[in-house]
Structure 1
Amino acid sequence: MIRKIHTKRGILVVTDRDRTIWVLSDGKAGDENQCLGVAERLGGTIDVRLVAPGRPWVWAMPWGPIPPQDRPDKEGSPLSPPFPDVAIASGRRTVAYLRKLKEISPETTTVFLKDPRTKSLNADLIWVPIHDKHRGSNVLATLTAPHRLSPARLNEARTGGPSELHRLAAPRVALVLGGDTAKSAFGTRAAHRLADHLVRHLPANMSIMVTPSRRTPAHLMKAVKQALLPRPHWIWDGSGTNPYATMLALADAIIVTADSHSMLSDVMATNAPIYIFEPDGYPPKLKGTIDQLVTHPYVQRLEDTLETGSRAPIDSTELIADEIRDLLKTT
């Protein structure tokens, strides 16, 4: 895309390559990756600016000001100029910084991902998942979350990863495991229910690729390992780089646990059939999201035998990037 900026000397043509993008991050991997996913899809030179407000300033986030030492004119400030064309932020500690940036650089298009928990944020665009109640004229709500699994990255990942994954016979099933959440434990009964389904309902010709998360409890891994003993499988053991993208790219079908909106969003970006396993307890806000997801072809709860096929991906990252592009056209 080419953007034209009117100046006193004429028209300055700005291409994606020329665009500068800041990602304001407090270091939380999940928030930062969502910002990077949007930034990468938008295209441009990306600069990750870390914010780390100390006490007492952090106590006032997201409502209070940035610390005096982080003002743009201070050495080492995360807001030091030159200011970007676009700034994307997520996380409670970044709200004040994005607000300040918009005050000192009104021409910067500012974007915040997820509910900022304050009405004082002057961002040009706020994205929230559809299960969030935050709404407004500058709010975009989508069914899935932004991520870094672009079509190009999935295509590249298809030939990467451990050789063991490629030696598994097709059809391959990716099993994406979550686990305990802040308010719900992935109990032993749910673990045994998932393991029993793998034993009883998984077609004998299917190979399994398993990627656990940091939240996956030991009893769940034990149950899954036991269930997969009779069939070809490969389980990431936590060493080296997680071949998550490769598993999703190679998968002819995907089983994902229902406890993470990010995981649900990742798998929906593929074109493989999706089977959602609901543990006994998981965030209630996701139940409505799953009810909407299963209205799409080849997306269903894990209840019967798996089938392979192809479906249209659901990818909100591109929707958010398109919204930003529209905002840039008006600047």
Structure 2
Amino acid sequence: MTDPSGPAAVIAADLAGMRSQTFGLARRAGLEPHLHALVPTGVWRHVPAAWWPAPLRAVRPLDLPADYRDHPVISIGGSGGAVGAALKRRGARVIQVQNPRLPPARFDLVIANRHDRISGPNVILTRTALHGVTPHLLEQARREWAPALAHLPRPLVVVLVGGGNGRFRLGRTEGAALAAGLATMMRRDRVGLALTPSRRTDPAVSAALHHALAGMGAWIWDQTGPNPYLGLLACADAIVVTMDSVSMVSEAVATSAPVMVAALPGRSRRIGQFLHDLTQAGRIRPFAGRLETWPVMPLDDTEIAAQAVRRCLGLA
């Protein structure tokens, strides 16, 4: 990460995944991000953003500084893209993250995943989602969390649990199946296990995991106190992550640990292509209830994207 060279206005829904991608990109490009939360209003909440005739009037006022044209704007997603394109028409320099569902030429730079299937002279495609998980942050987190996890057996398997969404199911039944696979791995491979649910994890899933694993000596975050997420990534000898979250998989493969992906019922072409690419790269394997280890290197395309931002803005 470079030293901050100026602010960047982030146009995004106030969601953890959106902040992770845009803030991570900005900071690694040497910019200091400031969120201007995007909240559609009225009927426009039910209309695809690409159809908004006046995007800046379809959302709550963004409270942008008067000099926003002098600093880059980072927008994300379809609604962010609609607003970002409108700001570019007013003279802003706009970096769009994810497929905007609009022609890429309406932005200064578009950074999307390979599975988004877009192209153009100003389009950069990455294999992973953008994020802020750097080697420096991982080392800091390792020093902070290693003492708290030192009592667990090695190798230490870290488990990142997401949640059901419109594409995959992760309810009580799926949680019980995941718990059974993890318990089998603990018994047969004699591994230590540290698990963190996410904000999206169904409480019934968290309860099933705790019931099955806590008695076997697993460390399970109860979602109180400091968030151990970075510390767990930093201390892991291997990682298991549920397949619903592109962001969590992307952050897991940025470490030096082999990553196993736990399948869930459901289907997503985009996530399927994303996981296929990482499998072909040798970075992930399916989780089958046993510990697997193989030689890996960190895979993180955020730095490629950050370099493209610096070139676009004349900071390189």
Letter in 2 for 1:26: A
Secondary structure of residue in 2 paired with 1:64: coil
Counterparts of 2:82 and 2:280, CA distance in 1: 39
Letter in 2 for 1:213: S
Contact 1:57 1:67 in 2 (8 A): no
- 1:55 equivalent in alignment to 2:39: no
Deviation, 1:136, is 2.5
Aligned to 2:175: 191
CA RMSD of superposed structures (Å): 3.1
Contact 2:69 2:91 in 1 (8 A): yes
Cα deviation digits, residues 273-321 of structure 1 (max 9, x gap):
1111112224343222222212234521112631446521111211110
Contact 2:154 2:192 in 1 (8 A): yes
Counterparts of 1:218 and 1:77, CA distance in 2: 36
Alignment of structure 1 residues 154-233 onto 2, 5 Å: 154-161=138-145, 164-202=148-186, 203-233=188-218
Counterparts of 2:193 and 2:277, CA distance in 1: 27
Contact 1:270 1:313 in 2 (8 A): yes
Q: 1:95 to 1:64 in 2, by over 3 A?
A: farther
2:7 maps to which of 20, 29, 37: 20
Counterparts of 2:140 and 2:195, CA distance in 1: 20
Counterparts of 2:159 and 2:282, CA distance in 1: 20
Deviation, 1:150, is 1.5
Range moving further from structure 2, 206-215 or 303-312? 303-312
Letter in 1 for 2:96: F
Q: 1:310 to 1:247 in 2, by over 3 A?
A: farther
Counterparts of 2:44 and 2:292, CA distance in 1: 53
Range moving further from structure 2, 36-45 or 195-204? 195-204
Letter in 2 for 1:124: D
| Same amino acid, percent of matched pairs | 30
Cα deviation digits, residues 62-86 of structure 1 (max 9, x gap):
4432446999xx9x84252153442
Contact 1:255 1:275 in 2 (8 A): yes
Letter in 1 for 2:310: R
Letter in 2 for 1:253: A
Letter in 2 for 1:115: N
Pair member with larger Rg: 1
Counterparts of 1:134 and 1:164, CA distance in 2: 44
Counterparts of 1:85 and 1:273, CA distance in 2: 39
Aligned to 2:231: 246
**TM-score normalised per structure 2:** 0.85
Range moving further from structure 2, 24-33 or 300-309? 300-309
Aligned to 1:112: 96
1:88 maps to which of 60, 66, 74: 74
- Structure holding more helix per residue: 2
Contact 2:22 2:76 in 1 (8 A): yes
The answer for unaligned runs of 5 or more in structure 1 is 2-14
Range moving further from structure 2, 47-56 or 113-122? 47-56
Q: 1:114 to 1:70 in 2, by over 3 A?
A: closer
Contact 2:21 2:131 in 1 (8 A): yes
Alignment of structure 1 residues 120-131 onto 2, 5 Å: 122-131=106-115
**TM-score normalised per structure 1:** 0.82
Letter in 2 for 1:155: E
Deviation, 1:112, is 0.7
Cα deviation digits, residues 39-97 of structure 1 (max 9, x gap):
011113333333445336665734432446999xx9x8425215344221113333343
2:54 maps to which of 41, 65, 86: 65
Cα deviation digits, residues 141-181 of structure 1 (max 9, x gap):
22210012122111111122495334323321111111211
